[in-house]
């Protein structure tokens, strides 16, 4: 099952991290932008080409260091169909390099609409009795705040393809508590959605004991991570918020079980934009990203031992 594949990759690399591929055009070094604009013009086509070259360079630099990458689809959707076509190429290139791809789509709907989203991102579209896949990542993120019928269609689709989903539970943004920390009976709302997610996914555990519906749990709330880790024994965590958002290695350690399993920690700008701190005008962007990914791995290793 897909969560087992991810955990296997983490164990093989001794690195529980995922690199975000959330490139805005201003994250791309100038020499790449200029070359792309010279070939395609200043506009959507030139920007898409620049980000594609940037993504390829990052993937090549990171594929033997990190087990996974996580493109956030907003940074591709903002460039229309050209950006989405480039996202599809990015996902396929990352997979060709052995990386586990988490598409951060945060969709959340029910019924036939959820089924349509699932076809686009997980199972493929049915056309004249045949199935045609497009994006085809290993995993997606979804919102379960419409209830179990906004989780189950995506989970069922993922199971049919031996993939998985991560459901928003306790997010890393400062305003998350405005809703997620509200007390509902004897639980807070984020505990309610965490419990619901684990219940919906019951019976899908793999060899490591984790369900095929994981949870997004922010590094910026370490006490909540600790509470959820104890509460959600069979839920694998995707942990955003490390680095640029303020989460530390000491904070994220609470996401892991006693074997150092059960979680993967994301860094996006800290890796993609590491070149901005080297003083070399981005000519070293790939090496800078690689060095940042290694530093993150070593930082977390101080607090988490993977067996």
Which residue of the set 95, 106, 133, 276 is catalytic?
Answer: 106
Q: Tell me: the pLDDT tens digits for 70-94?
A: 999 999 999 999 999 999 999 999 9
The Cβ-side half-sphere exposure at 244, using a 13 Å CA radius, reads 14
Sorted by sequence, the CB contacts under 8 Å of residue 187 that are 6+ apart come out as 195
Per-residue pLDDT of the chain (307 residues), as tens digits, is 799 999 999 999 999 999 999 989 999 999 999 999 999 999 999 999 999 999 999 999 999 999 999 999 999 999 999 999 999 999 999 999 999 999 999 999 998 999 999 999 999 999 999 999 999 999 999 999 999 999 999 999 999 999 999 999 999 998 999 999 999 999 999 999 999 999 999 999 999 999 999 999 999 999 999 999 999 999 999 999 898 778 899 999 999 999 999 999 999 999 999 999 999 999 999 999 999 999 999 999 999 999 9
What does each C-alpha distance from 161 to 47, 135, 136, 158 come to in angstroms?
A: 33, 13, 10, 5
CA distance 60 to 137: 18
Q: Tell me: the pLDDT tens digits for 185-220?
A: 999 999 999 999 999 999 999 999 999 999 999 999
Q: Which helix (H) or strand (E) holds 81?
A: helix 80-96
- Token couple for 68: 């996974």
- Residue pair 97/63 in contact (Cβ under 8 Å)? The answer is yes
To the query of whether residue 14 is one of the catalytic residues in this protein, the response is: no
CA distance 90 to 112: 28
CA distance 21 to 71: 4
């Amino acid at each position: 099952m897909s969560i087992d594949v991810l955990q296997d990759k983490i164990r093989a690399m001794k690195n529980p991290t995922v690199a975000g591929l959330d490139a805005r055009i201003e994250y791309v070094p100038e020499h790449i932008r200029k070359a792309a604009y010279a070939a395609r013009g200043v506009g959507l086509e030139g920007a898409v080409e620049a980000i594609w070259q940037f993504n390829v360079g990052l993937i090549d630099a990171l594929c033997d260091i990190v087990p996974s990458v996580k493109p956030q689809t907003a940074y591709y959707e903002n460039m229309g169909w050209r950006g989405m076509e480039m996202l599809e190429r990015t996902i396929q290139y990352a997979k060709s390099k052995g990386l586990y791809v988490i598409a951060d789509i945060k969709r959340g709907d029910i019924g036939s609409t959820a089924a349509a989203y699932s076809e686009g991102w997980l199972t493929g579209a049915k056309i004249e009795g045949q199935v045609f896949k497009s994006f085809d990542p290993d995993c997606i993120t979804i919102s379960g705040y419409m209830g179990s019928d906004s989780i189950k269609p995506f989970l069922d689709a993922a199971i049919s393809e031996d993939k998985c989903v991560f459901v928003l539970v306790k997010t890393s943004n400062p305003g998350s508590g405005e809703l997620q920390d509200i007390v509902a009976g004897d639980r807070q709302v984020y505990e309610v959605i965490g419990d619901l997610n684990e219940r919906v996914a019951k019976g899908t555990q793999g060899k490591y004991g984790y369900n095929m519906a994981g949870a997004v749990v922010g590094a910026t709330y370490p006490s909540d991570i600790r509470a959820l880790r104890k509460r959600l024994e069979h839920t694998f965590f995707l942990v955003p918020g490390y680095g640029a958002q303020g989460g530390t290695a000491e904070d994220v350690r609470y996401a892991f079980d006693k074997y150092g399993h059960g979680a993967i920690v994301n860094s996006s700008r800290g890796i993609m934009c590491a070149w901005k701190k080297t003083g070399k005008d981005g000519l070293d962007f790939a090496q800078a990203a690689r060095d940042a990914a290694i530093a993150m791995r070593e930082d977390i290793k101080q607090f988490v031992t993977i067996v």
